[in-house]
Chain A
Amino acid sequence: MEEFKVPPPSKINYLNAEYGLKSWLLTRDHKRIALLYLGSISFFFMIGGIYAMLIRLELLTPHGQLLTSTTYNKVFTQHGIIMVFFFLIPSIPATLGNFLVPLMIGAKDLAFPRINLLSWYIYMLGGIVTIYALLAGGVDTGWTFYVPFSTTFSNSYVVATGLGIFISGFSSILTGLNFIVTIHTMRAPGMTWFRMPLFIWAHYATSLIMILGTPVIAITILLLAFERLAHVGIFDPALGGDPILFQHLFWFYSHPAVYIMVLPGMGVVSELIANFSRKNVFGYKFVAFSSLAIAIFGFLVWGHHLFVASQSVYAGMIFSFLSFAVAIPSAVKVFNWSATLYKGSISYETPMLYGLGFIGLFTIGGMTGLFLAALAVDVHLSDTYFVIAHFHYIMVGGTLLAYLGGLHYWWPKITGRMYPEGWGRFSALVVFIGFNLTFLPQFVLGYMGMPRRYHYYPEEFQVLHVLSTAGASILGVGLLIPAIYLLWSMRYGPIAPANPWHLPGLEWRTQSPPPTENFEQTPVVTWEAYEFAPIDEMEVVGRYGESKAEV
């Protein structure tokens, strides 16, 4: 590997280059925008989390003693909407992706910094409209907005909520557009496609879904709103329309949207596994192309949400077949990650614990997806708690764990401070245990026939619900701990060196936190991805002390 000197530490970085509220609200620096996103999605995550706790508390008893049915319906709807559209979809791309895509490919910024800032404002506007809808009275249609309930029968703020989602969709489109153009045109000299970290490949695939899928949900919500306001008939069977058309349009976006949520997580995990075992990713090209394969196949499987929705039997078979096909690239990733560990030099810092947890939980989430792709079994399982458990394994066990892992991993780069390692490991363990206790019982509930979105339920299901709620409490605590110590570390954590983990990636070859233009001079890349250089014994003296290059 070429000698690549980490620049001498400079007092000026992106955080202290400018001061004042205006310097943040009008910033065009992708790193600052990432932090704006980080703050806002954390806020939405908190709201969604409060709803989740309300759901779990309510389900402690089968008789619905805490909330009325209407309130309960609103709570699970709003939990879904906030978590999906305002946390999971922007989570990794808009924060870690925004921060790291230019850094990892050696660019000064994203291709369109103004559009990047605009996307945050659009996101916030969508969020504010949605919050308004929630405060005004909420929405009770389920996050899926199925017609004709949402268009004709619901007495809640469907249009306002839809408008919020419609608006925030554009922020997702703009982020995807920015990433695609940046990855195509802004790579540093020598940063060829196959030298890019897999995080970038994953974000490229994610961006493809964002730009191809999001416009479809936009028009779908628009049509839904007109249908509700003006009764034009497009989805209303009483007027000749077809309610199943809505489901097709909705899932054409919302199934690929699952991959918007999990692909960036896979990108993060590829980084974590490779870097904490100091090994190049096994089968780099297979992992890279499996991301693209998932993005493309992901658009062909939406019909597996309609196996019992009066879709034709033959359509069901085709969608089932394709759904099994999309499982293969995901399996390839899991096997490659496992093989990466072989003969590595594995350390167990917090991010790696999250990464390993991700593989385990994603395996369970993916395998249970096969149950739902298998037609006859899905007939029994669809709209039961099995589905709930399955997608929480993908979205919480997958995306959220990857997000937390990535946040810890790049925390020194983002804030210039180290987080407390002991607390980190402890909370990773608590999250893992709490998560499994919450959602494993739900698989069982589902096969036993417990339908989703049930406020009252038969008493024989209570034991498993109580277990699940107990798990959710542990999970809640597990998530509170990092929230506290990460905030604490921003001020009191040990100063982070430029490259605390001794890694070869470009983002580690600039100071922590990076300067506004990322690199003192445009880097020239002469090494492959994950090409680990011999580590000088002197460099690792003192765990978080200043490394040699900075002394």
Chain B
Amino acid sequence: MQSWIPFIPESASTESSKVDALYFYLSGVTVFFTLLIAGVIILFVVRYRRRTPFEVPRPIAGSHTLETLWSVIPFVIAMSIFAWGASLYFHQFRPPNNAVEVYVVAKQWMWKFQHATGQREINELHVPVGQKVKLIMASEDVIHDFFVPAFRVKNDVVPGKYTTLWFEATKPGTYHLFCAEYCGMNHSQMVGSIVVMNPTEFNNWLSGNVNQQSAASSGQQLYQTLGCASCHGNNGEGGRGPALLGVFNSNVQLATGQTIRADEGYLRESILNPQAKIVNGFGPIMPTFQGVVNEEQNVQLIAYIKSLGTQAAGAAGAPGAQGSPKPPVREPTK
């Protein structure tokens, strides 16, 4: 699994060639300066070798011009690298809006995936060519790191929060997936593969796995069995607890007066630690589900809540006062 250039891994995502370009620039600069320094040193060492044991050369104090030159030139080069690297990084860490979402749960020592359409996989992720894929990643235990060399992407999976990562594969094939953050005994076996397929093949693959429930419908089942419905309403319309219809990505006003955007992280926290950020108008009556739902079930619940409709960020979404907890009328987008 190598590209046509020696010592460069396969390049199989829209980002990978951009990273390679910067890498080549850096390599060029490094080789140039290393050869320059080495050349100058060898030249001087040979040219000015000691010829008689008692010669003492004339001292040379230094030169402000030279000092300025060799501070400024490296600085300019460094800044060019900085700007280039930063702009790519900025792009890498802003997931696009039109990406399909895949939930990733890392645990010692395996990767679990669930597609939005329900297919589940372990240590293997199938994705189509030419489709932006956004991973929403959670860890059950320690810090892991999702690393696909062929895509030049990597991000830590940190317990206690969601991290994301996105890529768009450009070439069908099977690529390494590594855990890059040391995570204990079988760290080096927490590996898997990313299978990139043509869209038609991918659809075939998907339809061959239809007997699995979508994340949202698994979430809906959990919602019922865990008894969430008794407070949040049978279909998320609300009750003693705030309504969930259209809550995702809306702005929620908290009891403390703050307003917060109901993103994945907030929903996760509200399930595991409900007292932390209480919606204005509701009492702290929800029990914690820490230890009751694991990260995998958590993402399913969130997928269900998302399926109840999303609201563009920025819209006023403060739920009504106690007694009329129904949110302002909203059209679910799905």
Question: Which of A29-37, A192-200, A380-388, A420-428 has 4 or more CB atoms under 8 Å from chain B?
Answer: A380-388
Q: Is the CB of A310 within 8 A of B158?
A: yes
Q: Are B56 and A339 in contact (CB under 8 A)?
A: no
B124 at the interface (CB under 8 A from A): no
Point out the residue from B89, B180, B184 that lies within 8 Å of A313, measured CB to CB: B89
A153 near B149 (CB under 8 angstroms)? no
Q: Which residues of the other chain, A, contact B191 by a CB distance below 8 angstroms? A: 458
Please determine whether A310 and B182 come into contact, CB atoms closer than 8 angstroms.
Answer: no
Shortest CB-to-CB span from A354 to chain B, Å, is: 13
Inter-chain contacts of B180 with A (CB < 8 A):
382-384, 451-452
List CB contacts (< 8 Å) of B21-51 with chain A: 22-23, 26, 29-30, 33-34, 37-38, 40-41, 44-45, 48-51
Asked if residues B41 and A451 are in contact (CB atoms below 8 Å), the reply is no
Interface residue B108 (Cβ < 8 Å from any Cβ of A): yes
The A-contacting residues of B in range 71-106, CB under 8 angstroms, are 71, 74-75, 78-79, 81-82, 84-86, 88-90, 92-94
Q: Is A345 within 8 A of B147, CB to CB?
A: no
Task: Determine which of B40, B48, B58, B74 lies in contact with A327 in the assembled complex, contact meaning CB atoms within 8 Å.
Answer: B74
Binds B, one of A49-57, A237-245, A515-523: A237-245
User: Within the complex, which residue of A70, A336, A345 is in contact with B57, where a contact is CB–CB below 8 Å?
Assistant: A345
The 8 Å CB contact of B85, one of A320, A343, A344, A346, is A320
Asked if B294 lies at the interface with its beta carbon under 8 angstroms from chain A, I say no
Task: Check B9–A343 contact: CB distance below 8 A.
Answer: no
Query: Are A328's CB and B74's CB within 8 A?
Result: yes
11 chain-A/chain-B pairs, Cβ below 8 angstroms: A69-B186, A140-B184, A278-B56, A279-B60, A309-B143, A313-B93, A332-B71, A339-B66, A374-B85, A449-B150, A456-B189
Given A308-B156, A324-B79, A447-B9, check contact A368 B149 (CB 8 Å).
no
Set A243, A280, A363: member contacting B37, Cβ < 8 A: A363
The reply to whether A363 and B59 form a contact with Cβ atoms under 8 Å apart is no
**A320 & B82 in contact (Cβ 8 Å cutoff):** yes
- Among A124-132, A256-264, A282-290, A402-410, the stretch in contact with B: A282-290
Closest to B27 in A: A371
| Known A277-B48, A308-B145, A382-B154: A447·B7 in contact at CB below 8 Å | yes
Residues in chain B near residue A325, CB distance under 8 A: 75, 78
Q: Does B161 count as interface, using CB distance less than 8 angstroms?
A: yes
Residues of A within 8 A of B143 (CB): 146, 148-149, 243, 309
Q: A324-B79, A453-B188 are in contact. Are A539 and B54 (CB under 8 A)?
A: yes
Contact with A along B154-186 (1 / 0, CB 8 A): 111011110100000000000010111111111
Q: Which residues of A contact B59 (CB under 8 A)?
A: 279-280, 530-532
Q: Which of A308, A376, A382, A532 meets B56, CB within 8 Å?
A: A532
B222 at the interface (CB under 8 A from A): no
Chain A 352-378, CB-CB to B under 8 Å as 1, else 0, gives: 000010011001100110110111111
- In the complex, the answer to whether A331 meets B93 with C-beta atoms within 8 Å is no
Q: Let me know if B41 and A375 touch, CB within 8 A.
A: no
Determine whether A455 belongs to the interface, using a CB cutoff of 8 Å to chain B.
yes
Residues of B within 8 A of A534 (CB): 54, 56
Residue of A237, A336, A376 touching B161 (CB-CB under 8 A): A237
Give the A-B pair count, Cβ closer than 8 A.
295
Interface range, A side = 35 or more
Contacts of B53 in A (CB 8 A): 535, 540
Known: A374-B84, A455-B187. 7 other contacts (CB 8 A): A335-B70, A344-B44, A359-B41, A364-B30, A451-B178, A451-B179, A460-B2
Q: Is A134 an interface residue (CB 8 A)?
A: no
Residues in B with CB closer than 8 Å to A146 are: 142-143, 181-182
In the complex, A458→B10 CA distance in Å? 14
| In the complex, the 3 A-B pairs of residues with the closest C-beta atoms, listed nearest first | A237-B160, A449-B149, A376-B88
Judge whether B292 is part of the interface by a CB distance below 8 angstroms.
no
A379 to B88, CA, bound (A): 10
- Give me the interface of B with A, judged by CB distance under 8 Å: 1-2, 7-9, 15, 18-19, 22-23, 26, 29-30, 33-34, 37-38, 40-41, 44-45, 48-51, 53-63, 66-67, 70-71, 74-75, 78-79, 81-82, 84-86, 88-90, 92-94, 108, 141-143, 145, 147, 149-150, 152-156, 158-161, 163, 176, 178-189, 191, 273, 290
Q: How far is the CB of A288 from chain B (nearest CB, A)?
A: 11
Query: A154 in the interface, Cβ–Cβ < 8 Å?
Result: yes
Q: A367 and B62: CB pair below 8 A?
A: no
Is there contact, CB below 8 Å, between A70 and B30? no
Q: Do residues B181 and A383 form an inter-chain contact, with CB atoms below 8 A? A: yes
User: Given A320-B86, A533-B56, A342–B44 Cβ distance below 8 Å?
Assistant: yes
**When the two chains form their complex, are residues A286 and B37 in contact, meaning their CB atoms are under 8 A apart?**
no
Chain B residues with CB under 8 A of A375: 85-86, 88-89
- Select B182's contact among A142, A237, A360, beta carbons within 8 Å: A142
Contact B66 A345 (CB under 8 A): no
Query: What sequence of 0s and 1s flags, for each residue 435-475 of chain A, a beta carbon within 8 Å of any chain B beta carbon?
Result: 00000000010011101111111101000000000000000
On chain A, the residues within 8 Å of B187 by CB distance are 69, 73, 453-455
With contacts A238-B290, A242-B160 taken as known, whether A342 is within 8 angstroms of B30 at the C-beta atoms is: no
B41 and A360 contacting across the interface, CB-CB below 8 Å: yes
Q: Once the chains are docked, how many angstroms separate the CA of A327 from the CA of B141?
A: 37
Q: Kindly identify which residue among A152, A332, A345, A379 contacts B92, using a CB–CB cutoff of 8 Å.
A: A379
Residues of B within 8 A of A368 (CB): 30
- Are A344 and B152 neighbours in the complex by a CB distance under 8 Å? no
Contact present for A338 and B78 (CB under 8 Å) = no
Q: Are B158 and A356 in contact (CB under 8 A)?
A: no
A3 at the interface (CB under 8 A from B): no
Which residues of chain A in 71-89 are interfacial with respect to chain B, using CB atoms and an 8 Å cutoff? Answer: 73
A residues less than 8 Å from B94 (CB atoms): 313
Residues of A within 8 A of B18 (CB): 376
The answer to the question of A222 belonging to the interface, with a C-beta cut-off of 8 Å to chain B, is no
Contact A379 B160 (CB under 8 A): no
Contact of A380 among B84, B145, B152, B158 (CB under 8 A): B152
- Would you call A334 an interface residue if the criterion is a C-beta within 8 Å of the partner chain's C-beta atoms? yes
The smallest C-beta distance from A348 to any residue of chain B, in angstroms, reads: 8
B156 pairs with A377, CB closer than 8 A:
no
Complex contacts, B188 vs chain A, CB 8 Å: 64, 69, 451, 453-457
Residues from chain A with a CB closer than 8 A to the CB of B159 are 148, 237-238, 243
**A327-B74, A344-B57 known; A363 and B34 CB under 8 Å?**
yes
Query: Which B residue sits closest to A339, measured CB to CB?
Result: B66
Q: Are the CB atoms of B158 and A309 closer together than 8 Å?
A: yes
Q: Kindly provide the distance from the CB of A481 to the nearest chain B CB, expressed in whole angstroms.
A: 23
- Give A539 to B152 CA distance when docked, in angstroms: 62
